[in-house]
Amino acid sequence: MILVFRPGSTKKEIHHAEQHLKELGFEPHTLYGVERTVIAAIGDDRVTTKEHLETIPGVEQVLPILAPYKLASKELRPETSVFEIGGPGPEVKPSKHKIAIGGKTIPVIAGPCSVEGRKELMEVAQAVKEAGATALRAGAFKPRTSPYQFQGLAEEGLEYLAEAREKTGLPIITEVLTPGDVPLVAKYADCLQIGTRNMQNFMLLRACGEVQTPVLLKRGMSATLEEYLLAAEYILTGGNRRVLLCERGIRTFETYVRNTFALAVIPALKEKTHLPVLADPSHGTGVRSLVPAMTKASIACGADGILIEVHPNPEKAKTDGQQTLSVKEFAKLMKELKPVAEAVGRAM
Ligand code: PEP
Ligand code: MN
């Protein structure tokens, strides 16, 4: 059930409602909006009635949540949530490196697929910053198809990312592969990434729900929208509210592209959830020449943010070079994105 409070309801009323819901056996999740506060009461609706919940002081309306994903559902919050990355969460140290995702301005999260070395990372971090990127993303823990491929620099890579953040002011996003690594990666990163192969790693989702670092959850390459939103729900229900979704392409019969970039998923997700929806045209196509056009298409169809792989010398990249833009190509694309964003009422 969703309890919608009257505008101007007091903290005391909200607190009282939360206590009452707990007594009834519900788990209350409170969302403070600009105009209104709502509480999602998660639990067995049969223990009470809509009429009873409507008598709680401050409550204006009680609505059922029909979607199976309760906290991710748009029924809970009709407008897109705006999340700070790198800003102070309850457990996160206040930081000067913060950006907002979900608002009018579209952030561009750029960087090499992997952290390859200290010097290499500092160079590319500076370059993407100069080209206008809003955050730096690179993997220190890499999920690789073959165990003989480069697996990432692990904690050493996280240290380089933290140094790059200090040097450039860009918040950092990096992947976490196992539940056991979540505290370590969260110690360094401003945002955790869960990759496509781990979208239904339920232990990892739960572990990411227990920290307050935002999570960028990529869609599994064969996941339905409902499975995807239920995966997000695992993180949300653990108490971590800041979940960002990201379409990165799905597996189809087509071999011309590495993945089929399912662009329609972006507006479809936006119809179903208040969580910000990002697009990753690099993995979405797997083909460098297609990345600029698909980045523009992503913005045109409503993406709240973009993820792009950039490397000073893509041919020499240790991972994903074939889909990675050079710094020059990235800088050119950044200039071309502004009018596209403006055409759909957004800003860069
Ligand atoms: C990545 O972002 O480099 C990555 C491994 O992504 P995905 O999980 O989408 O394949
Ligand atoms: Mn990659």
User: Which CATH number covers residue 143?
Assistant: 3.20.20.70
Verify whether ligand 1 is closer than 6 Å to residue 248 (CB atom): yes
Residue 295 within any structural domain of the chain = yes
Same domain, 183 and 128: yes
- Host H or E run for residue 122: helix 118-131
Q: pLDDT tens for residues 241-252?
A: 999 999 999 999
Domain range for 335 is 83-343
In a domain, 78, yes or no: no
Provide the number of structural domains found in the chain: 2
pLDDT of 189-240, one tens digit each?
999 999 999 999 999 999 999 999 999 999 999 999 999 999 999 999 999 9
**Ligand 1 contact via 195 beta carbon (within 6 Å):** yes
DSSP 289: G
* Ligand 1 centroid from CA 201, angstroms: 15
Query: What pLDDT does 87 receive?
Result: 57
> Which tokens in the block code for residue 40?
């999602």
Q: Which residues contact 151 (CB under 8 A, 6 or more apart)?
A: 141, 142, 144
Instruction: Name the band, by pLDDT with cuts 50, 70 and 90, for residue 94.
Output: very low
Same domain, 212 and 278: yes
Ligand closest in space to the Cα of 259:
1
CB of 139 within 6 A of ligand 1: the answer is yes
- CA triplet 324, 199, 139: central angle to 5 degrees? 35
Verify whether ligand 1 is closer than 6 Å to residue 137 (CB atom). Answer: no
196 Cβ closer than 6 Å to some ligand 1 atom? yes
Cβ of 283 closer than 6 Å to ligand 1, yes or no, is yes
- Residue 219 Cβ inside 6 Å of ligand 1? The answer reads no
**What is the per-residue pLDDT for 329?**
98
The ligand placed nearest to the CA atom of residue 321 is 2
CA 266/CA 237 separation, integer angstroms = 23
**Co-location of 119 and 231 in the same domain:** yes
Identify the helix (H) or strand (E) that includes residue 101.
strand 99-101
**248 with 158, same domain?**
yes
Q: Are 309 and 325 in contact (CB under 8 A)?
A: yes
Q: How many residues does the chain have?
A: 348
- Look at residue 96 in the predicted model and tell me its pLDDT: 60
Shared domain for 210 and 328, answered yes or no, is yes
Minimum mean pLDDT among 21-35, 244-258, 305-319: which range?
A: 21-35
Name which residue sits closest to atom 1 of ligand 1, judged by CA. Answer: 113
Q: What DSSP assignment string belongs to 160-186? A: HHHHHHHHH---EEEE--SGGGHHHHH
- Closest residue (by CA) to atom 4 of ligand 1? 195
Same domain, 58 and 140: no
Q: What DSSP designation does 306 have? A: E
246 CA closest ligand 1 atom index: 9
Q: Same domain for 157 and 12? A: no
| CATH code of the domain covering residue 46 | 3.30.70.1140
42 & 126 share domain: no
Question: Which ligand ends up closest to the CA of 139?
Answer: 1
Q: Is 113's C-beta closer than 6 angstroms to any atom of ligand 1?
A: yes
pTM above 0.75, yes or no: yes
Pair 51, 87 in one domain: no
Q: What is the C-alpha to C-alpha distance for residues 348 and 338, in angstroms, rounded to an integer? A: 6
CB 155, CB 177: distance < 8 Å:
no
53 and 156 inside one domain: no
Asked, for residue 13, whether it belongs to a domain, the answer is: yes
Asked if residue 152 and residue 50 are part of one domain, the reply reads: no
The confidence band for 89, taking pLDDT boundaries of 50, 70 and 90, is: very low
